[in-house]
A = this chain, B = another copy of it.
Amino acid sequence: MKLARKDLLGIQDLSVEEINLILDTADSFIDVSTREIKKVPTLRGVTVVNLFYEPSTRTRTSFEIAAKRLSADTINIATSTSSVVKGETFVDTARNLEAMNPDIIVLRHSAAGSPHMLSKVVRQSVINAGDGAHEHPTQALLDMMTMREKKKRLAGLKVAIVGDIAHSRVARSNIYGLTKMGATVSVGGPITMMPRCIERLGVEVHYKLEDAIRDADIIMMLRIQLERQETNLFPSLREYARYYCLNRKNIAAARDDVLIMHPGPMNRGVEISPEIADGPYSVILEQVTNGVAVRMALLYLLSGGKS
Protein backbone atom coordinates (compact mmCIF):
# COMPACT_ATOMS: atom_id res chain seq x y z
CA MET A 1 0.00 0.00 0.00
CA LYS A 2 1.14 3.50 -0.81
CA LEU A 3 0.51 6.84 0.88
CA ALA A 4 -1.50 8.65 -1.76
CA ARG A 5 -0.60 12.18 -0.83
CA LYS A 6 2.16 14.63 -1.61
CA ASP A 7 2.54 16.07 1.89
CA LEU A 8 2.18 15.36 5.58
CA LEU A 9 0.73 18.58 6.89
CA GLY A 10 -1.32 17.48 9.84
CA ILE A 11 -3.13 14.64 11.50
CA GLN A 12 -6.51 16.28 11.02
CA ASP A 13 -6.76 15.32 7.36
CA LEU A 14 -5.32 11.80 7.66
CA SER A 15 -7.60 8.78 7.43
CA VAL A 16 -7.47 5.87 9.84
CA GLU A 17 -5.98 3.76 7.05
CA GLU A 18 -3.25 6.30 6.41
CA ILE A 19 -2.35 6.48 10.09
CA ASN A 20 -2.18 2.70 10.25
CA LEU A 21 -0.05 2.61 7.12
CA ILE A 22 2.43 5.10 8.58
CA LEU A 23 2.60 3.31 11.93
CA ASP A 24 3.02 -0.11 10.31
CA THR A 25 5.80 1.23 8.09
CA ALA A 26 7.47 2.86 11.09
CA ASP A 27 7.35 -0.47 12.94
CA SER A 28 9.21 -2.08 10.07
CA PHE A 29 11.97 0.56 10.25
CA ILE A 30 12.59 0.16 13.98
CA ASP A 31 15.20 -2.52 13.51
CA VAL A 32 17.33 -0.48 11.06
CA SER A 33 18.35 1.77 13.96
CA THR A 34 19.57 -1.10 16.08
CA ARG A 35 21.55 -3.02 13.47
CA GLU A 36 25.29 -2.82 13.36
CA ILE A 37 25.16 -1.02 10.00
CA LYS A 38 22.34 1.45 10.59
CA LYS A 39 21.81 2.39 6.99
CA VAL A 40 19.78 1.19 4.03
CA PRO A 41 20.20 2.52 0.49
CA THR A 42 16.45 3.13 0.03
CA LEU A 43 16.54 6.90 -0.53
CA ARG A 44 19.91 7.31 -2.20
CA GLY A 45 19.88 10.45 -4.35
CA VAL A 46 16.95 11.96 -2.45
CA THR A 47 17.55 15.40 -0.93
CA VAL A 48 15.76 16.37 2.28
CA VAL A 49 15.84 20.03 3.32
CA ASN A 50 15.28 20.78 7.01
CA LEU A 51 13.95 24.33 6.95
CA PHE A 52 13.70 25.43 10.57
CA TYR A 53 12.42 28.87 11.48
CA GLU A 54 12.38 27.95 15.16
CA PRO A 55 15.23 26.43 17.12
CA SER A 56 15.02 22.68 17.70
CA THR A 57 17.55 20.02 18.57
CA ARG A 58 15.48 16.98 18.92
CA THR A 59 13.16 17.27 15.95
CA ARG A 60 15.81 18.44 13.49
CA THR A 61 18.27 15.80 14.67
CA SER A 62 15.59 13.12 14.47
CA PHE A 63 14.73 14.05 10.88
CA GLU A 64 18.40 14.29 9.94
CA ILE A 65 19.20 10.88 11.41
CA ALA A 66 16.10 9.41 9.78
CA ALA A 67 17.13 10.76 6.38
CA LYS A 68 20.72 9.58 6.70
CA ARG A 69 19.69 6.07 7.77
CA LEU A 70 17.83 5.88 4.46
CA SER A 71 20.91 7.24 2.60
CA ALA A 72 19.20 10.51 1.68
CA ASP A 73 21.21 13.73 1.60
CA THR A 74 20.24 16.40 4.10
CA ILE A 75 20.53 20.17 3.93
CA ASN A 76 19.92 22.16 7.11
CA ILE A 77 18.66 25.71 6.92
CA ALA A 78 18.13 27.57 10.18
CA THR A 79 16.72 31.06 10.34
CA SER A 80 19.67 32.69 11.98
CA THR A 81 21.85 31.99 8.95
CA SER A 82 19.08 32.29 6.38
CA SER A 83 18.06 34.98 3.96
CA VAL A 84 14.92 35.63 5.99
CA VAL A 85 17.10 38.21 7.68
CA LYS A 86 17.39 39.89 4.31
CA GLY A 87 13.66 40.45 4.14
CA GLU A 88 12.67 37.95 1.46
CA THR A 89 9.09 36.73 1.69
CA PHE A 90 8.43 33.19 2.83
CA VAL A 91 6.90 32.35 -0.53
CA ASP A 92 9.98 33.56 -2.38
CA THR A 93 12.24 31.51 -0.12
CA ALA A 94 9.99 28.53 -0.84
CA ARG A 95 10.10 29.00 -4.59
CA ASN A 96 13.84 29.37 -4.51
CA LEU A 97 14.22 26.13 -2.63
CA GLU A 98 11.85 24.46 -5.07
CA ALA A 99 13.98 25.63 -7.98
CA MET A 100 16.99 23.79 -6.54
CA ASN A 101 15.06 20.52 -6.90
CA PRO A 102 15.19 18.95 -3.49
CA ASP A 103 12.69 16.15 -2.92
CA ILE A 104 11.26 16.75 0.53
CA ILE A 105 11.09 19.92 2.62
CA VAL A 106 10.68 19.53 6.38
CA LEU A 107 9.35 22.80 7.79
CA ARG A 108 9.16 24.13 11.30
CA HIS A 109 7.68 27.59 11.57
CA SER A 110 6.10 29.69 14.27
CA ALA A 111 3.14 30.63 12.05
CA ALA A 112 0.24 28.18 11.98
CA GLY A 113 -0.53 27.12 8.43
CA SER A 114 2.96 27.76 7.02
CA PRO A 115 3.43 24.17 5.80
CA HIS A 116 0.07 24.32 4.03
CA MET A 117 1.11 27.50 2.28
CA LEU A 118 4.48 25.96 1.41
CA SER A 119 2.84 22.84 0.02
CA LYS A 120 0.72 24.93 -2.31
CA VAL A 121 3.73 26.85 -3.57
CA VAL A 122 6.18 24.01 -4.17
CA ARG A 123 5.85 20.73 -6.02
CA GLN A 124 8.04 18.97 -3.43
CA SER A 125 6.65 16.96 -0.54
CA VAL A 126 6.31 19.02 2.61
CA ILE A 127 6.43 17.58 6.12
CA ASN A 128 5.13 19.74 8.93
CA ALA A 129 7.64 19.61 11.78
CA GLY A 130 5.52 21.93 13.93
CA ASP A 131 3.61 25.05 12.90
CA GLY A 132 2.84 27.53 15.64
CA ALA A 133 0.18 26.25 18.03
CA HIS A 134 -1.47 24.33 15.22
CA GLU A 135 -0.11 20.83 14.53
CA HIS A 136 2.98 18.70 15.08
CA PRO A 137 1.94 15.59 13.22
CA THR A 138 5.18 13.59 13.43
CA GLN A 139 5.06 13.99 17.20
CA ALA A 140 1.52 12.63 17.37
CA LEU A 141 2.46 9.75 15.08
CA LEU A 142 5.41 8.77 17.25
CA ASP A 143 3.19 9.10 20.31
CA MET A 144 0.55 6.81 18.78
CA MET A 145 3.25 4.40 17.64
CA THR A 146 4.54 4.20 21.20
CA MET A 147 1.07 3.70 22.70
CA ARG A 148 0.22 1.01 20.16
CA GLU A 149 3.52 -0.76 20.74
CA LYS A 150 3.03 -0.81 24.51
CA LYS A 151 -0.73 -1.31 24.76
CA LYS A 152 -1.21 -3.34 21.56
CA ARG A 153 -4.10 -1.13 20.47
CA LEU A 154 -5.25 2.49 20.24
CA ALA A 155 -9.01 1.98 20.16
CA GLY A 156 -10.50 2.05 23.62
CA LEU A 157 -7.48 3.57 25.33
CA LYS A 158 -8.07 6.44 27.69
CA VAL A 159 -5.43 9.12 27.11
CA ALA A 160 -5.04 12.17 29.35
CA ILE A 161 -3.17 15.22 28.04
CA VAL A 162 -2.24 17.75 30.71
CA GLY A 163 -0.76 21.23 30.53
CA ASP A 164 -0.94 24.26 28.28
CA ILE A 165 -3.50 22.80 25.88
CA ALA A 166 -4.22 26.13 24.22
CA HIS A 167 -0.71 26.68 22.95
CA SER A 168 0.21 23.06 22.25
CA ARG A 169 0.50 21.75 18.72
CA VAL A 170 1.38 18.40 20.28
CA ALA A 171 -1.97 18.31 22.09
CA ARG A 172 -3.90 19.28 18.99
CA SER A 173 -2.29 16.68 16.73
CA ASN A 174 -2.74 13.98 19.33
CA ILE A 175 -6.39 14.87 19.87
CA TYR A 176 -7.04 14.61 16.14
CA GLY A 177 -5.20 11.32 15.85
CA LEU A 178 -6.35 9.58 18.99
CA THR A 179 -10.05 10.37 18.64
CA LYS A 180 -9.82 9.20 15.03
CA MET A 181 -8.25 5.93 16.12
CA GLY A 182 -10.97 5.28 18.68
CA ALA A 183 -9.22 6.36 21.86
CA THR A 184 -10.87 8.55 24.50
CA VAL A 185 -9.02 11.78 25.22
CA SER A 186 -9.33 13.93 28.31
CA VAL A 187 -7.46 17.19 28.62
CA GLY A 188 -6.48 18.95 31.81
CA GLY A 189 -4.92 22.26 32.74
CA PRO A 190 -5.60 25.67 34.19
CA ILE A 191 -8.53 27.50 32.66
CA THR A 192 -6.16 30.17 31.28
CA MET A 193 -4.46 27.47 29.21
CA MET A 194 -7.59 25.75 27.96
CA PRO A 195 -8.81 26.78 24.51
CA ARG A 196 -12.46 27.71 24.26
CA CYS A 197 -14.78 25.18 22.71
CA ILE A 198 -12.14 22.47 22.99
CA GLU A 199 -15.01 20.02 23.73
CA ARG A 200 -15.95 20.25 20.08
CA LEU A 201 -12.85 18.21 19.27
CA GLY A 202 -14.48 15.34 21.13
CA VAL A 203 -12.48 15.48 24.35
CA GLU A 204 -13.39 15.63 28.02
CA VAL A 205 -12.21 18.79 29.74
CA HIS A 206 -10.98 19.00 33.32
CA TYR A 207 -9.30 21.69 35.33
CA LYS A 208 -7.91 19.44 38.03
CA LEU A 209 -5.02 17.12 37.25
CA GLU A 210 -6.55 14.20 39.17
CA ASP A 211 -9.82 14.50 37.27
CA ALA A 212 -8.08 14.60 33.91
CA ILE A 213 -5.95 11.51 34.54
CA ARG A 214 -8.61 9.41 36.33
CA ASP A 215 -8.44 5.82 35.04
CA ALA A 216 -6.08 6.88 32.26
CA ASP A 217 -4.06 4.27 30.35
CA ILE A 218 -1.70 6.97 29.14
CA ILE A 219 -0.78 10.34 30.60
CA MET A 220 0.91 12.82 28.33
CA MET A 221 2.36 15.76 30.23
CA LEU A 222 3.02 18.85 28.12
CA ARG A 223 5.99 21.11 28.49
CA ILE A 224 5.31 24.44 30.15
CA GLN A 225 6.94 27.07 28.00
CA LEU A 226 8.72 29.13 30.57
CA GLU A 227 8.46 32.24 28.43
CA ARG A 228 4.65 32.15 28.81
CA GLN A 229 4.97 33.10 32.43
CA GLU A 230 5.42 36.70 31.45
CA THR A 231 2.06 36.70 29.76
CA ASN A 232 0.37 35.95 33.08
CA LEU A 233 -1.11 32.63 32.07
CA PHE A 234 -0.04 31.35 35.47
CA PRO A 235 1.21 33.17 38.56
CA SER A 236 4.50 31.30 39.00
CA LEU A 237 6.21 28.05 38.15
CA ARG A 238 5.93 27.09 41.79
CA GLU A 239 2.20 27.68 41.72
CA TYR A 240 1.83 25.78 38.45
CA ALA A 241 3.82 22.85 39.76
CA ARG A 242 1.76 22.73 42.94
CA TYR A 243 -1.40 21.96 40.99
CA TYR A 244 -0.22 20.34 37.76
CA CYS A 245 3.07 18.58 38.35
CA LEU A 246 2.58 14.85 37.91
CA ASN A 247 4.06 13.11 40.91
CA ARG A 248 4.02 9.86 42.86
CA LYS A 249 0.98 10.94 44.81
CA ASN A 250 -1.44 12.31 42.28
CA ILE A 251 -0.63 9.64 39.70
CA ALA A 252 -2.63 7.22 41.90
CA ALA A 253 -5.79 8.49 40.19
CA ALA A 254 -4.68 6.84 36.94
CA ARG A 255 -4.67 3.10 36.18
CA ASP A 256 -1.99 1.02 37.83
CA ASP A 257 -0.39 0.21 34.51
CA VAL A 258 -0.55 3.81 33.23
CA LEU A 259 2.18 4.86 30.80
CA ILE A 260 3.79 8.28 31.10
CA MET A 261 4.68 10.28 28.02
CA HIS A 262 6.21 13.70 27.42
CA PRO A 263 7.17 15.28 24.10
CA GLY A 264 10.25 16.91 25.61
CA PRO A 265 12.17 18.91 26.48
CA MET A 266 11.04 18.33 30.05
CA ASN A 267 11.01 20.88 32.84
CA ARG A 268 11.66 18.53 35.72
CA GLY A 269 9.85 19.65 38.84
CA VAL A 270 7.50 21.88 36.89
CA GLU A 271 5.13 19.68 34.90
CA ILE A 272 6.67 16.35 35.79
CA SER A 273 8.52 15.18 38.87
CA PRO A 274 11.81 13.34 38.39
CA GLU A 275 10.51 10.16 40.02
CA ILE A 276 7.76 9.97 37.39
CA ALA A 277 9.97 11.00 34.46
CA ASP A 278 12.47 8.30 35.33
CA GLY A 279 9.98 5.83 36.80
CA PRO A 280 9.07 2.36 35.53
CA TYR A 281 6.03 3.49 33.51
CA SER A 282 7.78 6.28 31.68
CA VAL A 283 8.11 5.60 27.95
CA ILE A 284 9.54 9.04 27.24
CA LEU A 285 12.74 7.75 25.68
CA GLU A 286 10.89 5.11 23.63
CA GLN A 287 9.03 8.06 22.14
CA VAL A 288 12.33 9.53 20.98
CA THR A 289 13.47 6.24 19.48
CA ASN A 290 10.15 5.79 17.70
CA GLY A 291 10.42 9.35 16.42
CA VAL A 292 13.30 8.35 14.17
CA ALA A 293 11.34 5.38 12.84
CA VAL A 294 8.19 7.45 12.18
CA ARG A 295 10.23 10.03 10.30
CA MET A 296 11.98 7.32 8.27
CA ALA A 297 8.53 5.93 7.42
CA LEU A 298 7.27 9.32 6.25
CA LEU A 299 10.35 10.12 4.18
CA TYR A 300 10.03 6.67 2.63
CA LEU A 301 6.29 6.79 1.96
CA LEU A 302 6.31 10.36 0.63
CA SER A 303 9.07 9.30 -1.77
CA GLY A 304 6.68 6.77 -3.24
CA GLY A 305 7.65 3.80 -1.10
CA LYS A 306 5.19 0.98 -0.41
CA SER A 307 4.58 -0.75 2.87
Known: A82-B57, A226-B87. A288 touches B99 (CB 8 A): yes
Contact A288 B57 (CB under 8 A): no
Q: Counting CB contacts under 8 A, is A175 at the interface?
A: no
Contact A101 B55 (CB under 8 A): no
Known: A58-B96, A100-B288, A289-B99. A37 touches B47 (CB 8 A): no
Contact A292 B100 (CB under 8 A): yes
Contact B77 A61 (CB under 8 A): yes
Q: Counting CB contacts under 8 A, is A212 at the interface?
A: no
Q: Counting CB contacts under 8 A, is A203 at the interface?
A: no
Q: Which of A33, A65, A97 has the most CB of B within 10 A?
A: A65
User: In whole angstroms, how far apart are the Cα atoms of A176 and B42 in the complex?
Assistant: 45
Q: Counting CB contacts under 8 A, is A236 at the interface?
A: no
Known: A39-B73, A56-B83, A75-B64. A100 touches B289 (CB 8 A): yes
Partner of A68, one of B47, B97, B266: B47
* CB interface residues, A 58-114, toward B, < 8 Å: 58, 60-62, 64-65, 68-69, 73, 75, 77-78, 80-89, 92-93, 95-103
The residues of B that contact A292 with a CB separation of less than 8 Å are: 100-101
Q: Which of A38, A57, A61, A69 has the most CB of B within 10 A?
A: A57
Known: A38-B101, A45-B37, A285-B99. A265 touches B87 (CB 8 A): yes
User: In whole angstroms, how far apart are the Cα atoms of A37 and B55 in the complex?
Assistant: 31
Contact B61 A266 (CB under 8 A): no
The residues of B that contact A268 with a CB separation of less than 8 Å are: 89, 92
Contact B55 A45 (CB under 8 A): no
Contact B39 A44 (CB under 8 A): yes
Q: Counting CB contacts under 8 A, is A267 at the interface?
A: yes
User: In whole angstroms, how far apart are the Cα atoms of A88 and B289 in the complex?
Assistant: 18
Contact B286 A99 (CB under 8 A): yes
The residues of B that contact A78 with a CB separation of less than 8 Å are: 81
Contact B288 A65 (CB under 8 A): no
Contact B37 A101 (CB under 8 A): no
Contact B62 A100 (CB under 8 A): yes
Known: A47-B38, A267-B87. A81 touches B55 (CB 8 A): yes
B-contacting residues of A (Cβ < 8 Å)?
A: 33-39, 44-47, 49, 52, 55-58, 60-62, 64-65, 68-69, 73, 75, 77-78, 80-89, 92-93, 95-103, 223, 226, 264-268, 285-286, 288-289, 291-292
Given contacts A100-B291, A100-B292, 5 further A-B contacts (CB under 8 A): A33-B100, A38-B47, A55-B81, A57-B77, A88-B266
- Could you give 19 example pairs across A and B, Cβ below 8 Å? A38-B47, A39-B45, A52-B81, A55-B82, A56-B81, A57-B77, A57-B81, A57-B82, A61-B77, A65-B102, A86-B223, A87-B265, A89-B268, A92-B266, A96-B264, A96-B288, A99-B289, A101-B289, A101-B292
